[in-house]
Amino acid sequence: MFLNGFIAVKEGLPYIIQGALVNVVVVIGALLLGCSIGLPMAIGQVYGGRMLRRIIGVYVWFFRGIPLLVLLFLFYFGLFSFLGLNLSAFAVAVIVLGLISSAYQSQVIRGAILSIPDGQLKAARALGMSDARAVFFIILPQALRLSIPGWSNEYAIVLKDSAVTYALGVAEMMARANHVASRTYQHLHLYIAAGLIFMALTYIGTKALNIAHNRLKIPGYTQ
């Protein structure tokens, strides 16, 4: 039995690794989309008016409060079909994971912005800088560097969540491992192999972000 499982893993590994690359692309796309949406939301929550903060709060509450699988089905089979958008399962996976990630990333960046001393913004105003320029050139460069540990956690979460996208038919690693397992009946060995690959991808990504954090960390801050 062990030998049969080893053979199944050996023969199916290239096929499964191709699926792992799909996971990586989904994660990168989702994180980039999440950052592009989460960054302005974080700024709006800190410096925006009451109405804007409430709208952003509802957005964050919505995408943090509904399970991933429900959102995938809601967007793929519901919202996008209703709007007549013929998007692939891969595109929907990136969009949904990106929207969820934007809710979490907005809170990571928001916390980093709030950790910057208020005196820096006041000093920028005293030098004649507008609030927008001060936030863009002084506050955000520091806040983004302080956000790296939070991004490390978000990367690991999004990577694990990407396995759920096989429910839409995305040919990611778990879908491929399940396909090989259903053909060879070596479920245990193949799922262990998939789990080990996920662990390796998590380690590589978080390690890279930790290295970036150590190189870019701001002296005097303990994050």
pLDDT of residue 104: 96
In a domain, 120, yes or no: no
With 60 as the cut, is the pLDDT of residue 1 above it? no
Tell me the mean pLDDT in the region 41-66: 94
pTM for this entry: 0.91
pLDDT of residue 38: 96
pLDDT of residue 214: 86
Alpha-carbon span 211 to 217, nearest angstrom: 10
How far is CA 120 from its chain centroid?
A: 30
pLDDT of residue 117: 85
pLDDT of residue 201: 95
In a domain, 185, yes or no: yes
In a domain, 188, yes or no: yes
Q: What is the tens place of the pLDDT at every residue in 148-191?
A: 999 999 999 999 999 999 999 898 999 999 888 888 888 888 89
In a domain, 35, yes or no: yes
Q: What is the CATH number of the domain that holds 201?
A: 1.10.3720.10
Count of domains for the chain: 1
